[in-house]
Structure 1
């Protein structure tokens, strides 16, 4: 739809997810063209949208170079998140996917397992008690002591921009425990809505860029 009205919208659209408190993301305002908020110089980060080899026009793929957990940059080889034969690989941003997936089929190193190892080492260093894996759900869950809030952040190092997810929004919280909100990807990685909370996301198709900045999205009303 954004492409059909590109003349009126200047090929730009934007959204901002308020913190998710229920099972689904809250309603959001979709903004187009001149209605997209403007930011002071240097506040907005941008990274190029890349075209997958399958010529899929319905998803927005980005060039992911590396991932950090807390202050630890993992140091994946440069080819880890590149496209693979047959169109697998890469990372896309998808507001319709609730959670983030990290590809377990990356060549040379299992990116999903490596990221989860770092999360587990971080929470192990905090002496948190790990819980059994949720049936059909998240691999890493921990008991949450009263007043505990030292949650690890998650940063996606894209080409030219660092997308940092606040530790509070990395996790899914249950009664008395929390789980790292990352799932195992089977063919590609996906940056889902859960990790887009309180982020202004701007798709600028004219320049082929994805732009983003931190924002209090509950203030974004029609």
Structure 2
């Protein structure tokens, strides 16, 4: 399990969308997290793409099996349901891993559609192809990921997976487009981070 890397707050807001500006601890670079719902729908698109690709490939393999185009494997799949299930599972995880490699190195279709990029909170770098592939595979073993994603969307979070060391940054924010951040009035009013006192009711 990876360690959680807390983002550094800055007391600044994005001039474009008003979301908090954060800082990568290792590099000091500023970034804005992607809002919850756009992030959720981007990842939903990724899931649909993976299911479509895997479904098409499974269909092609099954047709090839029916026509005995796979040699001995066709016979094994026909007489042994375990072999058939294993081949289909291999296709699923293979597609998932390959898509994760693309996502971890250059970005996914969901990233492009939502205008975001998955990066390490610590330094703002992508996960890389191999880690991206394994992260994608791990999602399939996390039935709670959908629930967590919806909860993150409702809270406005752009956390990028059950792995809290990554986040999705907003490529359509004012900061990403070169606009200077603005001071957060709340942070300016409470520079020490103390919460405003709540008047007691009598």
TM-score under structure 1 length normalisation:
0.28
Structure whose CA Rg is larger: 2
The answer to which structure has the higher strand fraction is: 1
Question: TM-score, length-normalised on structure 2?
Answer: 0.30
Structure with more helix by fraction: 2
